[in-house]
Structure 1
Amino acid sequence: MTRRIWIALAFILLAWRSTPAHAQNADTILVNGKVVTVDSQFSIREALAIQADRIMATGTTAEIKMLTGPRTHVVDLQGRTVIPGLIDSHLHAIRAALSFSTEVNWIGAPTLAEALGRIRQAARTMKPGAWLIVAGGWNVQQFKENRRPTQAELVQAAPDNPVYVQLGYGWAVMTPAGFKALGITGDADLPAGGRLERDANGRPTGAISGSQGAIVALFDRLPRPTFDQQVDGTKAFFRELNRLALTGVVDPGGNNLAPDDYQALFTVWRERQMTIRVVYALCGQTPGSEFDELQAWTALLPMGFGDDMLRFNGLGERITAAMNNNDSPSESEKDRYYQIAKWAA
């Protein structure tokens, strides 16, 4: 008799331990797909259950459907693949987001013709005289034509707007309306280190090449988005990253990111509208004054500030301008670098 009671209790205990997953309804389930778990066996499951923003269970579609309740959102994958969210360990997301809603986006354009078409479409929706800006996010190799746009093509696409297109940190091209708006008539009007490219007859082609500092300084002459546009751009850029399967980024700071430039990000965070987890760093911006800037900016910013969606991660990607890409630093340049590194540690 006693033995039967203990066996019954054992079954009750086993059932109790196995019921929490079934007793708790999932918020969302994904079924009829290929769920890449990236576990030690790199196993593939058919379905996935989510509760309170956490993975609750994986298994077959039949198993996971047992976790549904009256409010469970069911997603039929129809054979599509689910992967863990990607984390980009070096992406200037904060800076790129500021102007994302006001720029012309060439991301994913397979041909130069399509890219120019996006310029043309933007010109139809923008007021005459409004700047059309493509500030990176593309490369020549993505285009079937395997070349850069010409000034004439940009003028044809947007005859009534100043147009600025930048490639990396060494080249840009503008329409005549752009040169007029910025008051550039010759090399002397460009930032130090920049020069006008000319054709075989010595005529300017509309392109500008030069050092990174020159191109950055040229971009800084363009009109900045309003704060509301920066907030909208931050939300839109993060959603674009989500579309590309990113759920997190490590932002290393970089050029042209003063404290005010983080305010759009902080606004989105305070409004609880973050769709990307962001870990960010701070960089001094003024050569020779980096230490003073970093001390001032971090005075009330403890290491680890933030939450699961936004967190301060220290200093980077550049500690001092003098040591940036410098293979032969002087002793004084190294001393200034070590001074900041020891302070930060």
Structure 2
Amino acid sequence: MTYEKKGWFALVALILSAMVRVLWPHPANATEANLIVFNAKITTQDAKNPSPTALAVKDGKFLAVGTDEETKKLRGKETRVLDAGGRRLIPGLNDSHGHYVRGGRFYNSEVRWDGVPSLQIALNMIREQADRTPEGNWVRVIGGWSPFQFEEKRMPTPTELNQAAPDTPVFILYLYSMGFLNEAGLKALGVTVENAQEKAPPGGRYEVVDGRLTGRLLAEPDPTILYKTIGSLPPLSAEDQLNSTRHFFRELNRFGMTSAVDAGGGGHKYPVDYTGTALLAGSPDLPLRISYYLFPQQKGNEYREFVEWMANHGLFHDGALHLDHGYELEGAGEFLVWSAGDFENFTADRPDLTRRERWREDLKRVAQLLVERGWPLRIHATYDESIGHILDVFEEVDREERAAGRKGFVGIRWAVDHAETLKQANLERIKKLGGGVAIQNRMAFAGEYFIERYGAGVADHAPPVRALLDAGIPVGAGSDATRVSTYNPWISLYWLVTGRSVGGTPLLSAENRLSREEALELYTIGSAWFSQEEGVKGRIAPGQYADFALLNKDYFAVAEEEIRGIESVLTVTGGVIVYGAEEFAGLAPELPQVSPAWSPVKLFGGYYRTSEHRSEK
């Protein structure tokens, strides 16, 4: 090549390079965004930048948050740019206490009464599902509802259940207070008037009236009879459990959830029953960050279970291959030992831990092990009396550890779960020991029974949310889904803001209710504390995880009653679109067909939508 030709090519290259710099001023490998969303009302929860209109995402994190004009400068050839249409955009919601791995395991097998407005519709759902459920399987409604949400304001009767499903076994769970079996269900389980007392575990009974089984199962107050019944129902196959988990997590994304702290659960063994979520975590398609705690299953052998888990499973191990903090082992709980577990059954007397053999020795041994090994822990405790006894043990462990030259609870991330009747003295003890409190909207589903037993004057500060915040104690909001409350986070946010149950009953006093801003903060930043992620998620700011939701209604502008109807139209986890509706409907990955073919989810979906429920017709 001649010198002149070389010079000519060099000049052309220089001109093209200059044109590229003018048209695309930021190198693609440095500052070009993968995703830009503009024309939004963004709630950042970042005091330095409270209300921008646009955001840019790169490599799973927020790259920039600012004006439309500023953010569009980060657009590259491959950047996806979305117009939010002036909608409200918030950080992804994060439930600080739910049972989402277990929920995914069972979702496709369950009829969900969550949000169903009338008992008649609910019974029609039972009837329709019974007609399509193959022999050997059950129709099951496992929590997430309250009789007070129905227009009729009552429970189903045995006659109604038998008429809806005369030949197909049915089990319906209401919280951990009671359950309902139709005649076919009683027959399938082999329960008769003659053997009912023998078959019922201690603390529960099959109701008999006038020499006949009514089909009601009563926890008084121990829910083992309910756990036992659920455990006797046929499980989904491993393949269907994975499919179920995919569809359940998509359902959570529908409401703007991008994270959850999983509290294990009864009848849910680790690691064998975690297969669906573990397989999803190992794929590129995990749409939800899960931090999970380990819940022992063997009553009396909890210490041995924790020792085995510690030997075989690394604390903070992330099993997600494509999502930071995607599937992470976080610690121990919500039960540490069964003998120290109280029950949130407001239709029965409060349990007294001190009447149980070895509860104190069992709890101290496990707590000491966890503290010595530096494991985060959380413990289920509904009543102030239970919390006081538990704190006695924790404080004793702390003293002995310090006397031995160790740190005790210093540096241990620990929490009390639930705490509905927590009082000031124990609140101060929790703070002194460095703990947090995870609250849930269980009262929204059981508050009427709580008032009947304890009075409205106790219910108005159950739990004492304002006192916890005023004390500076870390607080996270959640649901305790799926067997107690619904998994829909907007029902919990509605309860925090209005103080009302799903049936409209006033519960929380005006002083104990939260502003919409405060409630949202507890469901994002507050919840992140319980997985030690408060530095990386909960805010929309550069460097934070790009987890957010674009809402169908403006949470800060709609009437209070409309909060319950909020959903996401665009949910993004780690910069990846995981849910889309309306003009964004085609952007999320397509899910496989619901399986098995008779799944109630295929017919009814999940949380109630009028247009999707044939039973309303």
Tell me how large the CA RMSD over aligned residues is: 2.6
Q: In structure 1, what is the Cα distance between the partners aligned to 2:49 and 2:212?
A: 60
The alignment partner of 2:162 has SS state of helix
Question: Is 1:337 the counterpart of 2:349 in the alignment?
Answer: no
Question: Is 1:320 the counterpart of 2:332 in the alignment?
Answer: no
1:250 to 246, 256, 261: 261
The alignment partner of 1:308 has SS state of coil
CA drift of 1:314 comes to 1.4
The alignment partner of 2:285 has SS state of coil
Question: Is 1:278 the counterpart of 2:290 in the alignment?
Answer: yes
CA drift of 1:175 comes to 1.6
CA drift of 1:245 comes to 1.6
8 Å contact from structure 1 (residues 132, 161) kept in 2: yes
1:269 to 281, 295, 298: 281
Normalised to the residue count of structure 1, the TM-score between the two structures is 0.86
> Which residue of structure 2 lines up, in the alignment, with residue 46 of structure 1?
53
The alignment partner of 1:99 has SS state of helix
> Which residue of structure 1 lines up, in the alignment, with residue 237 of structure 2?
226
Normalised to the residue count of structure 2, the TM-score between the two structures is 0.50
> Which residue of structure 2 lines up, in the alignment, with residue 12 of structure 1?
none
Distance 1:138 1:113, change over 3 A: same
The alignment partner of 2:340 has SS state of coil
Q: Deviations over 1:165-207 (max 9, x none)?
A: 11011211122111111111222364323333355x5543322
Asked which structure has the greater RCO (Cα within 8 Å, sep 6+), the reply is: 2
1:188 to 197, 211, 228: 197
Q: In structure 1, what is the Cα distance between the partners aligned to 2:285 and 2:113?
A: 25
1:122 to 126, 129, 133: 129
- Which aligned pairs between 1:58-69 and structure 2 lie closer than 5 A? 58-69=65-76
> Which residue of structure 2 lines up, in the alignment, with residue 6 of structure 1?
none
Q: In structure 2, what is the Cα distance between the partners aligned to 1:181 and 1:63?
A: 65
> Which residue of structure 1 lines up, in the alignment, with residue 559 of structure 2?
none
2:217 to 208, 218, 221: 208
Q: In structure 2, give the amino acid aligned to 1:209.
A: L
> Which residue of structure 2 lines up, in the alignment, with residue 178 of structure 1?
185
Unmatched 5+ residue regions in structure 1? Answer: 1-14
2:317 to 305, 308, 311: 305
8 Å contact from structure 2 (residues 339, 356) kept in 1: no
Distance 1:331 1:118, change over 3 A: closer
> Which residue of structure 1 lines up, in the alignment, with residue 463 of structure 2?
none
8 Å contact from structure 1 (residues 119, 158) kept in 2: yes
Distance 1:330 1:156, change over 3 A: closer
CA drift of 1:116 comes to 2.6
Q: In structure 2, what is the Cα distance between the partners aligned to 1:242 and 1:294?
A: 32
Question: Is 1:95 the counterpart of 2:91 in the alignment?
Answer: no
CA drift of 1:58 comes to 2.1
> Which residue of structure 2 lines up, in the alignment, with residue 294 of structure 1?
306
> Which residue of structure 2 lines up, in the alignment, with residue 154 of structure 1?
161
CA drift of 1:330 comes to 7.3
8 Å contact from structure 1 (residues 132, 163) kept in 2: yes
Q: In structure 2, what is the Cα distance between the partners aligned to 1:342 and 1:198?
A: 45
> Which residue of structure 1 lines up, in the alignment, with residue 509 of structure 2?
none
Distance 1:334 1:204, change over 3 A: closer
Question: Is 1:33 the counterpart of 2:40 in the alignment?
Answer: yes
Q: Deviations over 1:42-71 (max 9, x none)?
A: 722222222222112222333333333333
Q: In structure 2, what is the Cα distance between the partners aligned to 1:312 and 1:129?
A: 36
Question: Is 1:84 the counterpart of 2:110 in the alignment?
Answer: no
- Which aligned pairs between 1:2-17 and structure 2 lie closer than 5 A? none
8 Å contact from structure 1 (residues 323, 337) kept in 2: yes
CA drift of 1:103 comes to 0.9
Q: In structure 1, give the amino acid aligned to 2:303.
A: F
Distance 1:21 1:225, change over 3 A: same
The alignment partner of 1:43 has SS state of coil
The alignment partner of 1:248 has SS state of strand
Unmatched 5+ residue regions in structure 2? Answer: 1-20, 319-323, 343-351, 372-617
> Which residue of structure 1 lines up, in the alignment, with residue 563 of structure 2?
none
> Which residue of structure 1 lines up, in the alignment, with residue 12 of structure 2?
none
Q: In structure 2, what is the Cα distance between the partners aligned to 1:68 and 1:287?
A: 57
Of 241-250 and 201-210, the range deviating more from structure 2: 201-210
Q: In structure 2, give the amino acid aligned to 1:62.
A: E
Q: In structure 2, give the amino acid aligned to 1:243.
A: R
The alignment partner of 2:98 has SS state of coil
The alignment partner of 1:312 has SS state of strand
Q: In structure 1, give the amino acid aligned to 2:276.
A: A
CA drift of 1:131 comes to 1.0
Q: In structure 2, what is the Cα distance between the partners aligned to 1:254 and 1:272?
A: 27
Q: Deviations over 1:218-274 (max 9, x none)?
A: 221111222112212222222222112211111122311212112222111112322
8 Å contact from structure 1 (residues 165, 172) kept in 2: yes
8 Å contact from structure 2 (residues 178, 218) kept in 1: yes
- The count of residues paired between Structure 1 and Structure 2 equals 328
Q: In structure 1, what is the Cα distance between the partners aligned to 2:132 and 2:83?
A: 37
8 Å contact from structure 1 (residues 191, 217) kept in 2: no
